């Protein structure tokens, strides 16, 4: 019995290593990728041989001899042919050599020429722990590859999450009882089951949040929270990338919500030519696509101070003084004009204007005419009680 146990220990398999990619398992054609193989620490410190293999091939792809606990295998200028599952093992140098169990398969994804699918999530990208979400990977309408295998990826992991071969062009991946560890960026692709290395481009990344309470946004102001009157101020509300609506408001007037222009991971709001009345405490909030009354958080208050310029105050005082002086001058000028238009009675006879001198014309009948100037006649102030009299004019005619 003791001999049998010793033999089994001597000929047993070594602990399996771990294989992971750098930088990601999703590699664009032409890029370089490094596959790292790490083994546990053994009782002996001798060198071992690390072996990289690919599922479906008989011969090893690469070998490395090292006394360290890990080694690297480089794949340069990858092509669609590099797409597939990889594993690694290690083997002792001494004889009889023991070999380890193979590592878990690592799915290296090298996109091909097929069009990218679309990835959607139900009920939404933000869920509470323990909830169920469903990811749907859909082929583009113009592709319609009926014999395809769909694969779901989570970025940062060493192997795909799930694969399936549906009868149609849509694959459904349920994720049950999510936890905080399931949050992250997801993507999917599809490939032809009958034609090797005919693979699609990956879908757009879909971010999933698994949180009890969503993160609070942050609010900042540019060029700063204290500006001079007449300046332009830009508010930036920073929130999660899946925010569907951002609003900005003054805390003294919560009913006056101001919609913001959505940008990546937040929103911008512009205030032009601010005045001191814009001073106050501002906050921002965001809403997500699921359960809006729950997924709504407020940022910390940001106090905006709009100061009046000293130059503006001085200019206002000067203009006020100038306006007051101009008003006084106008009043004085008006008084002078009014006084000059009133007649003044001094009780003295005014000088009569000279009579108009008209040359005498000779009549053929020897009659001489004289023209009278009625304005030079003596005037008498009329008494309103007396009846008006007809004026009488006298003329002396000289007949020769």
Average pLDDT value over all residues in the chain: 77
Interval 57-89: pLDDT, tens = 889 999 999 988 989 999 999 988 888 889 999
Residue 241 pLDDT greater than 70, yes or no: no
- pLDDT bucket at 397, cuts 50 / 70 / 90: very low
Q: The pTM is what? A: 0.51
CA of residue 44 relative to chain centroid, distance: 59
Domain assignment present for residue 96? The answer is: yes
Both 146 and 228 in one domain: the answer is no
Domain assignment present for residue 187? The answer is: yes
By C-alpha distance, which of 184, 274, 289 is closest to 233? 274
Both 201 and 227 in one domain: the answer is no
Both 273 and 293 in one domain: the answer is yes
Both 201 and 122 in one domain: the answer is yes
Q: What residues contact 212, with CB distance under 8 A and at least 6 apart?
A: 128, 129
Residue 282: cis peptide before it, omega within 30 degrees of 0: no
Domain assignment present for residue 396? The answer is: no
Check if the beta carbon of residue 372 is closer than 8 Å to that of residue 393: yes
Neighbours of 358 (CB within 10 A): 10
Domain assignment present for residue 73? The answer is: yes
Neighbours of 91 (CB within 10 A): 15
The domain total for the chain is: 3
Output the DSSP codes for 55-87.
Answer: TT-SS-SEEEEESSSEEEEEE-S--GGG-EEEE
- pLDDT bucket at 292, cuts 50 / 70 / 90: low
Q: List the structure tokens of 204.
A: 């757009």
For tokens 């509300």, the residue is 237
More confident residue, 372 or 256: 256
Can you tell me the distance from the alpha carbon of 266 to that of 286, in angstroms, rounded to the nearest whole number?
Answer: 9
Domain assignment present for residue 345? The answer is: no
Domain assignment present for residue 33? The answer is: yes
Both 127 and 199 in one domain: the answer is yes
Q: What residues contact 400, with CB distance under 8 A and at least 6 apart?
A: 366
Both 195 and 249 in one domain: the answer is no
Boundary-marking domain end, from 75, 108, 141: 108
Domain interval for residue 250 = 218-307
- pLDDT bucket at 117, cuts 50 / 70 / 90: very high
Both 102 and 17 in one domain: the answer is yes
Check if the beta carbon of residue 137 is closer than 8 Å to that of residue 50: no
Boundary-marking domain end, from 161, 192, 210: 210
Can you tell me the distance from the alpha carbon of 148 to that of 168, in angstroms, rounded to the nearest whole number?
Answer: 8
Domain assignment present for residue 262? The answer is: yes
Here the CATH number for the domain that contains residue 63 is: 2.60.40.10
Boundary-marking domain end, from 74, 108, 142: 108
Both 198 and 251 in one domain: the answer is no
């Amino acid at each position: 019995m003791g001999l049998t146990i010793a033999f089994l220990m001597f000929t047993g398999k070594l602990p399996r290593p771990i294989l992971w990619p750098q930088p990601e398992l999703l590699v664009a054609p032409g890029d370089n990728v490094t596959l790292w193989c790490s083994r546990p620490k053994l009782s002996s410190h001798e060198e071992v041989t690390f072996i990289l293999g690919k599922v479906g091939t008989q011969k090893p792809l690469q070998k490395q001899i090292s006394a360290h606990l890990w080694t690297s295998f480089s794949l340069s200028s990858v092509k669609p042919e590099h797409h597939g599952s990889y594993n690694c093992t290690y083997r002792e140098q001494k004889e009889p050599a023991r070999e380890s169990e193979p590592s878990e398969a690592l799915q290296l994804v090298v996109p091909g020429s097929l069009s990218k699918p679309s990835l959607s999530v139900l009920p939404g990208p933000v869920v509470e722990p323990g909830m169920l979400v469903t990811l749907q990977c859909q082929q583009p309408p113009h592709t319609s590859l009926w014999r395809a295998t769909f694969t779901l990826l989570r970025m940062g992991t060493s192997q795909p999450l799930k694969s399936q071969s549906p009868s149609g062009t849509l694959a459904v991946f349920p994720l049950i009882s999510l936890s905080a560890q399931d949050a992250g960026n997801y993507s999917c692709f599809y490939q032809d089951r009958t034609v090797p290395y005919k693979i699609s481009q990956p879908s757009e990344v879909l971010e999933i949040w698994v949180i009890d309470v969503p993160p609070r946004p942050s609010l900042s102001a540019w060029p700063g929270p204290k500006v001079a009157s007449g300046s332009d101020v830009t508010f930036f509300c920073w929130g999660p990338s899946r925010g569907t609506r951002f609003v900005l408001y003054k805390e003294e007037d919560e009913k006056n919500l101001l919609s913001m222009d959505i940008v990546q991971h937040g929103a911008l709001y512009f205030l032009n030519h601010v005045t001191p009345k814009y001073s106050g405490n501002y906050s921002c909030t965001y809403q997500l696509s699921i359960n809006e009354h729950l997924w709504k958080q407020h940022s910390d208050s940001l106090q905006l101070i709009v100061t009046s310029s000293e130059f503006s105050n001085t200019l206002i005082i000067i203009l006020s003084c100038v306006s007051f002086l101009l008003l006084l001058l106008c009043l004085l000028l008006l008084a002078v004009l009014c006084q000059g238009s009133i007649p003044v009675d001094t009780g003295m006879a005014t000088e009569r204007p000279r009579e108009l001198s008209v040359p005498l014309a000779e009549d053929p009948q020897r009659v001489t005419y004289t023209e009278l100037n009625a304005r030079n006649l003596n005037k008498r102030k009329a008494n309103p009680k007396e009846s008006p009299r007809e004026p009488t004019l006298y003329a002396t005619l000289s007949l020769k």
